[in-house]
Structures are given as structure tokens and as C-alpha cells.
Amino acid sequence: MKRFLIKTTIFLLFIFGLAWALDYTISKGLLKMEDYRFMSWSDILEGDIKADVIILGNSRGLSHFEPWTIDSVCGTKTYCLGLGGYPINVELLKYHCYLLHNIKPHYIIQQVDYMTMRMLKAPHQHQSEQFLPLIYDGGMHDELLRVGYTWKDLYIPLYRYWGYQMVIKNGLLEALGLKHYVNDPSRMGHHYERGAWDGTELARMDTIMATMDTAAMRLFEHYMQACYDDSIKVILVNSPTYIGATNKTKGLERVNAYFDSIATAYNTVYWNYTENYDLCNDTANFCVSVHMNPVATHEFGVEFAESLRSFFPPPL
């Protein structure tokens, strides 16, 4: 029995050490990839962004606002922190990570829409792999626990990578220098949605429900208050959505009224581009109902930047 226990323990300790090394290697490898899911995290952790304006939000925040267009029109330094996925708790995780390593911005362009006021556990959401390399940032542990990770994810090596076969493979190959992934890279955190119009998903849905979660609203208001206290101006923007989807969405009045009320309460604005806006009327401007294609994104970006400049006159 003694022999069995000693041998088993030594073997398991060896395996544990190996697992830790593998975990570290994969995580570092992922952050080296030129892939939009990981590139902005890598920039954030390096702590050298120094942006006046940051863009925050879901995948629409990630793809609808071109930082370089805003910079050229407004003379700012802008960086995009939008992410694949949509719940507010996960969006704010990225913002908190940003604040841990970078100087605070003066302005935040916050993409908001009918999907924003929801809570979802990060490990269960779309593109959840983007959070995996973050575990080595000790300052993020509390935040990660808050968005649904558990102590097992944080302290048991490789545990959180369970089931992510491609991510493991890519991370390892990248870390070992066997392959460099240049796959959908981002530029200043921004990433375009590409592709011709695909209305399949929209056609499948009779109604889209705009729901607002109370806990999400509380979290959002807490964030708005914190920004207000820190003198960070948060501009709420609902970027263009194809009109066909807007018409199918129930409960939008409540959502828009809520963002209007928040804008008033925190002395800012809520710009809603989903109604009475030309770009919204033509499927040619969209890949899917909630994502504009690059041409329309640029067109919107120029107009948006002009509005931003007129709202915040130089020197911004």
C-alpha cells in the first residue's frame, strides 16, 4: 500500500507539473496568435494602449466602429475593446482588465442594444476561448470568478482548456514556434465582419424578444456611475441594424427608453442608429441582420466620427 501511494503520488505530482507547464505554454501561445479573439487581450496585458477613447461592447462594438476613422476625424487615439459575445458582465470583464494594465480613457463609446442587458456565464458564451489565457493575470481572478469561472478553472492546470481541441492545438503550435497563425487579425482591437448577406437566421425567427435582466441593469448602472465618478464620458450608441430585424423585435421601446433615461441620468447621450437611418434599409449593407459589412461599416464610421467631433469639439 505504501509503495502504491508513494508511486502514485510521485507520478501525479509529475503529471501536475507537466500540466502546469503545458497550460502556461498554450496560454502564451494563444496570446502570440494574430487572431482577433486574442490580439486585443495581448495588447491589454502589455499595458501600452494609452487610448483617449475606447470602444466597448459586444460583437457589434467590435466590428462597427473603426478606431482609425475616429482618430483621423477627431484627432484622438482610439482602441476597440469590443468582443465576440454579448452579455454586459463579459463586456465589462474586458474593461476591468484594461483598467488593470492601462491608463484610464477620457471617453468610452459604449455599443448598446437589445442584447446588452443580459448576463451570461463567460465559459458558456460564444467565443469563450478568448478568456482562457487570462488566468495568468492574478489581478483578474476576482473578475473571472464573477463572470462564471470557478476555482477549478483558476487553480487546476489545463482544467479550463477541457474540450477546446483546436485552441489547444493552435496554442501549442504557436508557442513552440511550429506555426504562426495569422487568422482574422484585428487592427487596434477592431475586427470586420465579412461576407455577403445571409438572411437565413432572420427568416427562421418570427419574433425577436428584447429582454432586460435586472441584475444586468444594476451592473450597467454601477459601471456608468463609476465612469461618471472618474470623469469618463460614456457615449451610448446603438449602431445600425437591418430594419427587417428591428421590425421583428418586440420590446424595443422599453430598451430605448431605458438607455435614454441612463443618458439623462449621467449627463451623456444615447445615439440610436437603428431607426430612421438609411443604411438600415438595405440588406446590401449587412452580412447578417445585426452586423454591417466593411463598406457600410466605413460609411457609418465616417458619419459617426463627424457626429462625435461635433459633439465633442476640438481639442478632443
Which residue in 50, 139, 162, 187 binds another protein (CB under 8 A)?
162
> Is residue 1 a contact residue for another protein (CB under 8 A)?
yes
> Is residue 3 a contact residue for another protein (CB under 8 A)?
yes
Q: Which residues have C-beta within 8 Å of that of residue 267, sequence separation ≥ 6? A: 228
Smallest distance from another protein to CB 145, Å = 17
Binding piece for another protein, criterion CB under 8 A, among 14-22, 231-239, 289-297, 307-315: 14-22
> Is residue 204 a contact residue for another protein (CB under 8 A)?
no
C-alpha cell at 6: 508513494
Smallest distance from another protein to CB 183, Å = 16
Alpha-carbon distance of 65 to 236, in angstroms, equals: 13
Binding piece for another protein, criterion CB under 8 A, among 8-16, 33-41, 218-226, 248-256: 8-16
> Is residue 177 a contact residue for another protein (CB under 8 A)?
no
Which residue in 18, 103, 209, 265 binds another protein (CB under 8 A)?
18
Alpha-carbon distance of 178 to 282, in angstroms, equals: 45
Tell me the residue ranges of DSSP E strands in 65-211: 78-80, 107-111, 182-183, 208-209
Alpha-carbon distance of 116 to 103, in angstroms, equals: 25
Which residue in 107, 149, 161, 192 binds another protein (CB under 8 A)?
161
Alpha-carbon distance of 19 to 54, in angstroms, equals: 37
Judged by phi (left if over 0) then psi (alpha if -120 to 50, else beta), residue 259 lies in alpha
Q: Which is nearer to another protein, 10 or 265 (CB)?
A: 10
Residue 235, H or E segment: strand 233-238
> Is residue 73 a contact residue for another protein (CB under 8 A)?
no
Binding residues for another protein, rule: CB under 8 A, are 1, 3-4, 8, 11, 14-15, 18-19, 22, 152, 158-159, 161-163, 165, 168-169
